[in-house]
Amino acid sequence: MKIAIYGSRHQEACLDILEMFLRQLSDEGVEVVMHPKIYKYLMHCMPAAMKAVRRVCENLECGADLVLSIGGDGTFLRTVQWADGRPLPILGVNTGHLGFLTAIGADELPTLLDSYRCGEFVREDRSLLQVEGPDLPFARYALNEVTVAKDANASMIQADTYVDGHHLCRYRADGLIVATPTGSTAYAMSVGGPVIAPDTPAFVIAPIAAHSLSMRPLVVGDSSCVEIEVQGRADRFRLSVDGRSVSLAMGTRISVSKAPRTVAVLRHCSRGFAEVLNSKLGWE
């Protein structure tokens, strides 16, 4: 069995559990591939427990039976980027805060191998957004959201928005989010957007601090193509794709649509979306 591990370097609260887990992987002959950042961190903290690590790589170019993301939702998004489009099942281990994308807590690591081998995890193929436009210095795919926003210290932007070639409106706001159902519980939710079940074939278009009360979040089908042309008084605006951002010239037009690939997210079979919402949002 081969497991690939990506993780945050802020794991002080669960180092004992991680050390126990890594020793278990070594004892059971599991081959481990790690990202360099977490490898250097863990080698400093627990060098004797790293015997199972066979390869350290900046890009996950090899296959794996399972990819572990150890951290929070931000770490999970970076794990997706590390996998770089390969159809590898990713399981999130929550050592962060909310952790909507994580399937288990760090305290469940000692039983992870048995649970995985017994088929206690369900694969969900989550949709991605694809961005088309100017050359970007990073991948064009987003699991959570694509955002256009004013640059630092700039005034609001005007985002002329089109859906399937038809003019929707001109958003006057601090920014505009296009989110997947997975991303509906992230940035889009913080600006008042709806929560959407992960298997819903839809996207959310949500303005950030709109300068008109009539500008409300909108749900469109995921077969739609959303085009955005950004104007404003400043010279530039910021485009973010799952947290990776670039400054672009005003007047630039981008399009956002459903990507031809998906991300395989694992969840525990006993924990459906309703239970996750109840737990993470503190509903009764």
Point out the residues that are catalytic: 73
Cβ neighbors of 188 (< 8 A, separation 6 or more) are 145, 177, 179, 204, 206, 217
Compute the C-alpha angle 271/273/276, nearest 5°. Answer: 65
Strands of the sheet with 175-179, listed across from one edge: 218-221, 202-208, 175-179, 145-150, 236-241, 244-249
Q: Read off the tokens for 243.
A: 């947290």
Cβ neighbors of 5 (< 8 A, separation 6 or more) are 32, 33, 34, 35, 38, 67, 68, 70
**Coil, strand or helix at 186:** coil
List of E strands, 95-201: 104-105, 121-132, 141-142, 145-150, 157-163, 166-173, 175-179
Residue 185 DSSP symbol: G
Residue 4 DSSP symbol: E
The span from the CA of 101 to the CA of 198, in Å, is 11
